Structure 1
Amino acid sequence: MAIHFLNVGSVRRSEGRSVISAAAYCSRSRLKDAKTLHEVDFSAANDLIHSEILLPHGADARWAEREILWNEVEAVETRSNAQLALEIEAALPEALPAGDEVGLCREFVTPLFVERGRVVDVNLHRAVGADGHPRVYLHALLSMREIGSDGFGKKLDDWHGPKLLMQWRERWAMLSNKYLLAAGRDRLIRAGADAAPGRELEPLFDDAERERQAENYEIAWRNGERLLGEPELALRALTHAGATFTYGEMIAFVSKNTAGKEQFETARARVECSVELVRLADGESFSTRSLAATVQCASGENGAVAAAPGGLDAAEAKRTLAEAISQWERAGLRLRGVGLTYETAKAFEKKSGIKSVGVHGLLGRWQKKQDRLAPTDVLVVNDAKGLSARQKEWMLRATRAARSKLVLVDGIRLVEIDGGATGLSPEEMTAVSC
């Protein structure tokens, strides 16, 4: 199956970004900021295969010049926390003819944005994807204001909300399949749960190149946005040179590849909460699930750095439930509580603040294929020792299928079980439940 990847965001001054820098990055060009007189240069990159600016009816013809367009956008936005441009990145299907690649992107952005009054800066890059295959990516910047006779008019606010984003993703999938079929390809894409990750993180310029700080900030911000959706990219990069890494190395990597405190904190929490992260038995080292067995074998019988059994982050978690909740919430994960009965579930909800249901009701909805778990869910089970063998099996099966987290709580202590763990039985689930 071909991959499906489309992300939408915005260029915000409150995050320290400049639309001049973003436009230079997208177009792999050198642009001069008219206000600061600083030049931002990404022209050394060699992955750009197409670039154009699409103007709506009534737009000033001068905006076909990228430097003029985005400097005027910078000038019209006077607020310190202004949103400067809408930003869209999408992965094109593999093996499309070159003309179809451009045609697909134009057919996507023209009716949705250009015909509705937005200027669209369209750029296509050819880069290596997370699966190791070369792939073409659309990277577009869109104006945030309607076009008037005197230039940019009032701010458009027609792009918010997850429902609209899903509609755009579905349209991208539909158009991609249309072009795949026209090109004689039979591997189609499907929006939704089967979506695959995008490209690897971008390399930053050498720290010694002080004049490239603006470029590094832009790359770090974009890497940080990618880490929010794909925290495993950090783990894959950390284990590229060796099978293990320390907590300090993980934090340093996330810090280097994010821009600003808020993005760093959220990305750090996402990486720490990844189901792929495994704490090793020495308590000081980390690895990934796919490498844990290799690390264990290499350590010999002493097991000094052996992975914790059953894929646990740690066999005995040292933090409290309140501390864990704080971290999960920073990571943007959804918390779901489970109690042995409706009454105990509501008591646990009142105590922990996690919306909770009784186990019988939850399993009943699962049997009807309702209220299923998602990869970003944390299923928190209060007093797991009271579950029946069948209930334990359902819990383990559901979290494994969704690759979500299963957390067993006894009082204020907890044990975390990664949903992708293999080999953990219902009996072992009881054995580790604090």
Structure 2
Amino acid sequence: MHLHARPHLEVHTRSKGHSAVAGAAYRLGLRLYDEKAKVWHDFRKRELGEEIVRALTIAPAGAPAWATDPAELWNRVEASEKRKDAQVARDYRIPIPFCLSDQDAGDLAEEMARFICDELHVPVSLGLHRDADRDALGNLKPPDKQGFHAHLYFPTRGLAEVGKGDDGETGEGTGFGPKLHEFSKMHLGAAFIELLNCRELT
């Protein structure tokens, strides 16, 4: 089996007009209401089983029920960020090896999602997407060159400890703690990305 692209991590920020709710809706093929922007984001036309092969949201063991509910989860993510230029989510996009079945491709993507979930103590929304059947020039790809890619979409904050709110302060909060320390400095972020890449490529 051969990979058809390199995995990469993209940061979604408000300064670039990104919404965590819109990002999740697109990757999961859902219709989600963005409470902050007061708008619906509707991507249901991306039918599950066709363009989107697998869509689910997972959370660490012991996480509250809302952590696997995309609507509540991603609105809580937006509510946890106060700055106009805040980083709201990270999208780790990985290629899936050619010649896998839908089931096997989904299982591989889910394994990576659970690794991120456990390592960072964050919920992860997984959207496994089928690649286009034509190349950039419009030519039909042979069957053995039609693959998948997965979006592993996760917040920039880990879940808060029980009884703690955002930034670890006691009391009512969004359910999220401080920003992930793995990405607090450039060299730390690069090290974790390399860890993800090495795991995905093995």
Q: TM-score range by the shorter chain?
A: 0.7 to 0.9
Matches within 5 A, 1:341-352: none
Quote how far apart the aligned CAs of 1:139 are: 0.8
> Which residue of 58, 80, 83 maps to 1:79?
83
Quote how far apart the aligned CAs of 1:115 are: 4.4
Contact 1:56–1:115, Cα closer than 8 Å, also in 2: no
Contact 1:32–1:67, Cα closer than 8 Å, also in 2: yes
Contact 2:68–2:123, Cα closer than 8 Å, also in 1: no
- C-alpha distance in structure 2 between counterparts of 1:30 and 1:164, whole Å: 32
- C-alpha distance in structure 1 between counterparts of 2:94 and 2:197, whole Å: 9
% identity of equivalent residues: 28
Could you tell me which runs of 5 or more consecutive residues in structure 2 were left unpaired when the two chains were aligned.
Answer: 165-174
- C-alpha distance in structure 1 between counterparts of 2:192 and 2:121, whole Å: 18
> Which residue of 157, 164, 189 maps to 2:181?
157
Q: 1:64 to 1:117 in 2, by over 3 A?
A: same
Q: 1:95 to 1:21 in 2, by over 3 A?
A: same
Deviations 1:158-189 (A, max 9, x none): 14443432332121110xxxxxxxxxxxxxxx
Higher helix share: 1
1:21 corresponds to 2:22: yes
Could you tell me which runs of 5 or more consecutive residues in structure 1 were left unpaired when the two chains were aligned.
Answer: 175-434
Contact 1:20–1:33, Cα closer than 8 Å, also in 2: yes
Higher strand share: 2
Matches within 5 A, 1:163-174: 163-174=191-202
Q: 1:107 to 1:117 in 2, by over 3 A?
A: same
> Which residue of 157, 179, 186 maps to 1:145?
157
After TM superposition, the runs of 4+ consecutive aligned structure 1 residues lying more than 6 A away are none
Deviations 1:247-292 (A, max 9, x none): xxxxxxxxxxxxxxxxxxxxxxxxxxxxxxxxxxxxxxxxxxxxxx
- C-alpha distance in structure 2 between counterparts of 1:49 and 1:111, whole Å: 20
Q: Which has the larger radius of gyration?
A: 1
Matches within 5 A, 1:206-285: none
1:2 corresponds to 2:26: no
Query: 1:17 is matched by which residue type in structure 2?
Result: H
Matches within 5 A, 1:28-39: 28-39=29-40
For the aligned residues, what is the CA RMSD? 1.9
Q: Which has the higher contact order (CA 8 A, sep 6+)?
A: 2
Query: 2:39 is matched by which residue type in structure 1?
Result: H
